Amino acid sequence: MRYYILAGEASGDLHGAELMKELKKQDPTAEIRFWGGDLMAAAGGTIVKHYRDLAFMGFAEVLFNLKTILGNIKICKRDILEFRPDAIIFIDYPGFNMRIAKWAKNNGFPTHYYISPQIWAWKENRITAIKRDIDHMYVILPFEKDFYEKKHNYKVEFVGHPLLDVINKKKDADFSEFRTLNNLSDKPIIALLPGSRKQEITKMLSVMTSVADSFLDYQFVIAGAPGQEDSFYEQFLSNKNILFVSNQTYNLLSISHAALVTSGTATLETALFKVPEVVCYKGNWASYQIAKRIITLKYISLVNLIMDRLVVEELIQEEFNKTSLTKALKKILNPDHRATLFHDYELLEEQLGRNGAAKKTAMRIVQSLQ
């Protein structure tokens, strides 16, 4: 069978790679073309576009890059027609993927969505397009099943969260040489996870690195994103207490004492590694002003959303500054607060369901084609 997979971000690349591995186990004849990243490329298949050429964050950024986005949509449609897949699999990235899904459905291609668009956060009216254009939806957050089935009468399958599999494998690895190979000191490590796009990395690290001199007993380490060149991070390494590791985020989290994390999937990854964290976000001013008027969620981090209460502190926009970040970091270094966080992290993991999300999804896709 032929599979065409569309992932537009680093997290989609991670989960797309695991799904590709499982698809090949379920269907040894599988031919796969994809839009994704290095992890998906390593899993096998033919890459059409790398996600670093696709990711535009925020309303203003999308507007400024509209010509490029529309050009990519044309390229994608043409490539699908030439490949003639038996199934198209969308992974998150709804702004792009839902446009392709409408076209794909009209052209008779079976459509599968793995990792639902977060329409429970905003653009809930997308449910009309999802019902119309998506044949099979596989959700990974426990509250999404009720959202779709009870609120919108649209059947979905809750497969559990794919991060459980990925991170549990990583927890069993040996990290004894990680410090030595990366020239890290013996100090407790505070990981800096600034995101994956250049524009957000620049905004986030300018504040994250500003607190390093207030915590000289700790080693600050920037986690370089897989889609960025190492040289891009050199501008943030003038402080000797700040080091850098490239494309080793999970290795870094495995030995970290605390973390400052840009809002996104990384907030959940950090929690599953049982690392106390402060969630941070600062976007384009215009984009933020639009977003806060249409997004009605109480929280921005997946940890707090899943738990439906404030578990990890969130510093957003103007609140994300040196003074507030210093105070928040001191709080998560406090032993009493850390004990509470660790307990909440255990409860969080229970909420996420069982392992095997990629395997279950691959099985359902292959069965639907048979």
pLDDT tens digits along 210-225:
999 999 999 999 999 8
Phi-psi region of 191 (alpha: psi -120 to 50; beta: other; left: phi over 0): beta
What CATH code is carried by the domain that includes residue 121?
3.40.50.2000
Contact yes or no for 92/321 (Cβ under 8 A):
no
All residues at 6 or more sequence positions from 249 whose CB lies less than 8 Å from its CB, including other chains = 191, 193, 223, 266, 269
The pLDDT of 68-90, averaged and rounded, is 93
pLDDT at 289 over 60: no
Cα dihedral sign for 151, 153, 356, 49?
negative
Instruction: Return mean pLDDT, the chain.
Output: 90
Domain check: are 90 and 200 in the same one?
Answer: no
- Higher per-residue pLDDT: 261 or 370: 261
pTM: 0.78
pLDDT at 81 over 80: yes
pLDDT at 100 over 80: yes
The pLDDT of 300-318, averaged and rounded, is 93
Overall number of domains in the chain: 2
pLDDT tens digits along 215-269:
999 999 999 987 789 999 999 999 999 999 998 999 999 999 999 999 988 999 9
Report the alpha-carbon distance of residue 250 to residue 225 in Å, rounded: 11
Least confident interval from 52-61, 250-259, 286-295: 286-295
The pLDDT of 125-138, averaged and rounded, is 97
Domain check: are 172 and 145 in the same one?
Answer: no
Contact yes or no for 365/89 (Cβ under 8 A):
yes
Percent of residues, the chain, with pLDDT higher than 70 = 91
Report the alpha-carbon distance of residue 14 to residue 314 in Å, rounded: 25
Domain check: are 17 and 109 in the same one?
Answer: yes
All residues at 6 or more sequence positions from 293 whose CB lies less than 8 Å from its CB, including other chains = none
Report the alpha-carbon distance of residue 300 to residue 106 in Å, rounded: 35
Report the alpha-carbon distance of residue 259 to residue 277 in Å, rounded: 5
Domain check: are 320 and 181 in the same one?
Answer: yes
Domain check: are 337 and 242 in the same one?
Answer: yes
> What are the backbone dihedrals phi and psi of residue 359, each rounded to the nearest 5 degrees, phi first?
-65, -45
Count of residues in the chain: 370
Domain check: are 215 and 90 in the same one?
Answer: no
Confidence of residue 65 (pLDDT cuts 50, 70, 90): low
Domain check: are 208 and 239 in the same one?
Answer: yes
Domain check: are 182 and 315 in the same one?
Answer: yes
pLDDT at 292: 52
Domain check: are 24 and 156 in the same one?
Answer: yes
Distances (CA, A) of 95 to 12, 69, 102, 266: 14, 10, 12, 21
Confidence of residue 53 (pLDDT cuts 50, 70, 90): confident
DSSP type of residue 68? H
Domain check: are 193 and 262 in the same one?
Answer: yes
Least confident interval from 47-61, 200-214, 296-310: 47-61
pLDDT at 123: 86
pLDDT at 345 over 70: yes
Report the alpha-carbon distance of residue 302 to residue 144 in Å, rounded: 13
Q: Residue 56's domain spans which residues?
A: 2-161+354-369
Domain check: are 181 and 88 in the same one?
Answer: no
Domain check: are 314 and 360 in the same one?
Answer: no
